[in-house]
Chains A and B, each alone.
Chain A
Amino acid sequence: DAKTTQPTSMDCAEGRAANLPCNHSTISGNEYVYWYRQIHSQGPQYIIHGLKNNETNEMASLIITEDRKSSTLILPHATLRDTAVYYCIVRVDNYGQNFVFGPGTRLSVLP
């Protein structure tokens, strides 16, 4: 699976959009981009994933660049409860393939 690069930490004001970048310049054509987050000491929570098109669900939007070498997770109106570590993972959706978690981005939503 391709390696990802994320900023170590970011701050965001409550109520504003949080834009979390992820670089995956070595991604291959059949690798999906997944985002998870982990609130302190809880299990990781699935947020969203996509292959090449932008995706949106009730939690967030995922914007993938046309060359697929980077993506951005957007939390449109961040709340204090969105404070967490956010993981960007790229992987092939083959059965039996595990998720490889990097250090992620620690997002702090400030009041």
Chain B
Amino acid sequence: KAGVTQTPRYLIKTRGQQVTLSCSPISGHRSVSWYQQTPGQGLQFLFEYFSETQRNKGNFPGRFSGRQFSNSRSEMNVSTLELGDSALYLCASSSPLSETQYFGPGTRLLVL
């Protein structure tokens, strides 16, 4: 079974721009969670989607948003990028039968 895939793997943007990251979960998984990882703050939870609905949300500003499609694929969007948004963005999926989360390789975003 294919793992979680994330695209793109690397991205360079400038301040003020917006960015959209994509995540395809493991087949059959309906829950998708997003995390941000920075050297200073570590791994932090952004939000979780299940059946196209946001089910849980972390403590991030409204510039960070997401959505999930009927095929469980998910996107997250960051608007008005700031230098501090430079990070590794990780997506994880889990099945209806287990709460174990399986992570993708991440998208590394650099904001200049």
Choose, from A10-18, A19-27, A38-46, the stretch at the interface. A38-46
B53 to chain A: closest residue by CB: A96
- Interface hits, B25-67 → A, CB 8 Å: 31, 33, 35, 42-45, 48, 50, 55-56, 58
What 1/0 mask marks residues of chain A from 73 to 111 whose CB sits below 8 Å from any chain B CB?
A: 000000000000001000101111111111100000000
Given A98-B33, A98-B56, A93-B103 contact (CB < 8 Å): no
* Total count of chain B residues near the partner, CB < 8 A: 25
Q: Are A41 and B45 interface neighbours, CB within 8 A?
A: no
Q: Are B99 and A97 interface neighbours, CB within 8 A?
A: yes
Shortest distance between the CB of B91 and any CB in chain A (Å): 8
* Total count of chain A residues near the partner, CB < 8 A: 23
Q: Are B42 and A44 interface neighbours, CB within 8 A?
A: no
Given A41-B88, A44-B43, A49-B100, A95-B55 contact (CB < 8 Å): yes
Shortest distance between the CB of A60 and any CB in chain B (Å): 14
B3 to chain A: closest residue by CB: A43
Q: Are B48 and A98 interface neighbours, CB within 8 A?
A: yes
What 1/0 mask marks residues of chain B from 77 to 112 whose CB sits below 8 Å from any chain A CB?
A: 000000000001010100000011111111010000
